[in-house]
Structure 1
Amino acid sequence: MIVSVLAQADPGVPSGSEFGKASPVGLFVTVALLVAVIYIGYALTRRMRRLNRRRAFAEAHGLDVFDEQAVDEAMREAGLADVDKKRWF
């Protein structure tokens, strides 16, 4: 008895002309995520600069760093525009 086995592809493995090609939706998702990460980095950098500026002002004027109302009032009296801006985050 001789047994012959034909080489066949596994039926669960995708094949054909469309296999391995990325869709435009994948590119869009990747670009959207990249834009989101860049925006979050920009926003956090802005926020950290603002917090460092407020901390330095509070320490220079002998204020409690965690007393937001006192720091806001002192910065407003000093003429710094930071205080009047809307806080987005």
Structure 2
Amino acid sequence: MEATQTVIAQSGGPSPENADSSQASPIGLLVVAAMMVAILFLGWRLARRIARLNRRRAFAEEHGIDVFDEETLNKAMREAGMDIPARRPLI
């Protein structure tokens, strides 16, 4: 019984003599750009969350409300006109 195998290999084209003379692929640039966009987006979201946390904590301390009592804190902020509507998460 004969067995046939297929091997996928790199083409035997001319290889550069010096590794520094090879050129980068444009796909690599796209990957790096996508990673930078993702990191900037996550940093922006984190900054917004931290700012919201600081506003809520300052309001709670000013009015003598427990920071972890979300129901009371949300109600007090709504009554004071500092209601921060919860947004639907993008991710």
* TM-score, with length taken from structure 1: 0.74
Q: 1:59 aligns with which of 54, 58, 61?
A: 61
Q: CA RMSD in A?
A: 2.1
* TM-score, with length taken from structure 2: 0.72
More RCO (CA 8 Å, sep 6+): 1
**Structure 2, unaligned stretches of length 5 or more?**
1-13
Q: 1:70 aligns with which of 69, 72, 77?
A: 72
Shift of 1:87: 5.0
* Cα distance between partner residues in 1 of 2:75 and 2:28: 49
Alpha carbons of structure 1 residues 53 and 87: separation in structure 2 relative to 1, 3 Å = farther
Same amino acid, percent of matched pairs: 53
Q: What is the aligned partner in structure 1 of residue 28 from structure 2?
A: 26
Moved over 4 A (4+): none
- Partner AA of 1:36 in structure 2: A
* Cα distance between partner residues in 1 of 2:88 and 2:71: 14
* Cα distance between partner residues in 2 of 1:41 and 1:72: 26
Query: Once the two structures are superposed, what CA deviation does each residue of 1:34-82 show, in whole Å capped at 9, x if it has no partner?
Result: 0100111111001000000000000000000111111101001111131
Q: What is the aligned partner in structure 1 of residue 41 from structure 2?
A: 39
Q: What is the aligned partner in structure 2 of residue 86 from structure 1?
A: 87
Q: What is the aligned partner in structure 2 of residue 15 from structure 1?
A: 15
